[in-house]
């Protein structure tokens, strides 16, 4: 299994396309950092309007920690796409290349192949998030400095001491890996159903976008289904920036994501195991 995983990772990281994701993420991060450098104060001023009416908050508000948070929030839409680019292509990509039939004429079981694809997508996701942590957190701290972090929720203003932030980011990035792994497993599932690469990537994004909208719509009709949508829980990383940290809610959200991931994975294995390979 380890050997096969190594081969899979070798294939992924030998492919130029893989690095496009890292490049895109770096570019988006830098664009946001640049925007914050030039226009961050207006943005903060706008966001802080409600608070500034009554309180005077002085100091380096727009610091690296806050900018990282803004980047993470903005990348919510993009990261699933980057994850889907690899995970959604993992089975259909082989089918497109014509290598899937060659792979499956080798003494390797299909469930094993799916698991290898899943774990390699997982490792890719981990590396993507680590990279995000480096470019977003490291460069934001470098450009904007340190400071206490403010977190503006719709009805709450939270301030976190700067020496209390890093562990939250570690936890948040860890949670982001879990959330993105759920997306990866969805993309993998769609990849098992499809015969071309674009289909699963677009479908994954479509599902994520539609469900995210449903998760955020303030319509009572959807309130009953919201807790069951994985997109409601993919933003659970934000919980680590709440005070007090809602551990129970985060644990529940994490559990939902784990169940979805396992559900997608088992369905993929089941379906792919019975699929006729005609590509």
Partner 1 sequence: MKKHLWLLFLCLYSLPVFAGDANELFYALRTKVLSVKDYTADVKMKIDVTYMRIPELKGTLYFKSPDKLRLERHGGLSVFPKKNINLTLVNLIPAGQVMVLDMGYATRAGKKERILKVVPEDDQSNIVLSKIWVDEENMLALRTETTTRNDGTVIMDLEFGNYIPYALPDKVTILMDVKDYKLPKGMAMDYISENEVESKAKASKGTKGSIQITYLKYAVNTGLSDNIFKLKGRNEEEN
Partner 2 sequence: METIIETRNLSKSFKGIKAVDGISFAIGHGDVCGFLGQNGAGKSTIMRMLLGLIYPDSGSIFINGTEFGNHRRYLLKNVGAIIERPDMYGYLSGWDNLKIFAALSDMKIPAARLHEVLEIVGLKGREKDKVKGYSQGMKQRLGIAIAMVHKPDLLILDEPTNGLDPQGIAEMRALLISLSKDHGKTILISSHLLVEIEQIATSMLIIHKGRKVVEGPVNKLLHPDDSLVEVIIRADSSAVGRLSLSQWQKYLHSTEDTVLTFKMNPGNAPALNKWLVGENIDVLEIRSKHSLEEYFLSLTNDTIIKDRAI
Which residues bind to partner 2, rule: CB under 8 A?
A: 3-4, 7, 10-11, 14-16, 97-99, 101-109, 274, 276-278
Beta strands in 123-259 (DSSP E): 149-152, 157-160
CB of 166: closest distance to partner 1 in angstroms?
Answer: 15
Q: Pick from partner 2, partner 1, none: which does 220 bind, CB < 5 to 8 A by kind?
A: none
Instruction: Provide DSSP, 90-113.
Output: TTHHHHHHTHHHHHHTSS--HHHH
* Residue placing its CB nearer to partner 1 in the complex, 28 or 160: 160
| Contacting positions for partner 1 (CB under 8 A) | 41, 44, 47, 50-51, 53-63, 73, 76, 145-148, 150, 152-162, 164, 216, 218, 232, 235-239, 242-244, 246, 248-250, 253
CB atoms within 10 A of CB 181: 24
Nearer to partner 1, 40 or 93 (CB): 40
Question: 207 near 186, Cβ under 8 Å?
Answer: yes
**Residue 47 CB, nearest approach to partner 1 (Å):** 6
Distance CA(177)–CA(172), nearest Å, equals: 9
CB of 61 to partner 1, least distance (A): 6
**Between residues 106 and 224, which has the closer beta carbon with respect to partner 2?**
106
Q: Is the sign of the CA dihedral 101, 105, 107, 109 positive or negative?
A: positive
Shorter beta-carbon distance to partner 1: residue 70 or 81: 70
15 binds, among partner 1, partner 2, none (CB under 5 to 8 A by kind): partner 2
The CA distance from 78 to 50, in Å, is 29
Distances (CA, A) of 68 to 14, 84, 138: 30, 23, 9
């Amino acid at each position: 299994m380890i050997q096969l995983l190594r081969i899979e990772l070798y294939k992924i990281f030998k492919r130029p396309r893989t690095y496009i994701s890292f490049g895109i993420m770096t570019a988006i991060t830098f664009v946001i950092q640049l925007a914050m450098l030039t226009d961050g104060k207006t943005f903060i001023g706008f966001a802080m309007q409600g608070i500034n009416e009554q309180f005077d908050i002085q100091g380096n508000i727009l610091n690296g920690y806050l900018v990282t948070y803004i980047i993470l929030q903005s990348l919510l839409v993009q990261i699933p796409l980057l994850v889907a680019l690899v995970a959604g292509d993992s089975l259909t990509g082989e089918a497109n290349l014509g290598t899937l039939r060659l792979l499956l004429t080798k003494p390797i079981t299909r469930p094993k192949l799916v698991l290898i694809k899943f774990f390699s997508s997982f490792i890719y996701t981990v590396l993507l998030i680590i990279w995000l942590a480096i470019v977003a957190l490291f460069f934001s701290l470098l450009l904007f400095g340190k400071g206490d972090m403010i977190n503006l929720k719709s009805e709450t203003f939270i301030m976190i001491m700067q020496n209390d932030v890093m562990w939250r980011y570690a936890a948040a990035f860890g949670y982001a890996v879990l959330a993105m792994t759920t997306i990866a497993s969805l993309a993998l599932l769609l990849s098992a159903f499809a015969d071309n690469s674009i289909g699963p990537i677009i479908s994954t994004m479509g599902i994520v976008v539609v469900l995210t909208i449903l998760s955020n719509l303030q319509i009572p009709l959807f309130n009953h289904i919201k807790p069951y949508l994985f997109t409601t829980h993919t933003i659970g990383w934000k919980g680590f920036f709440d005070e007090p940290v809602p551990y129970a809610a985060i644990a529940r959200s994490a559990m939902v994501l784990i169940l979805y991931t396992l559900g997608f994975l088992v369905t993929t294995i089941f379906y792919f195991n019975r699929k006729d390979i005609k590509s």
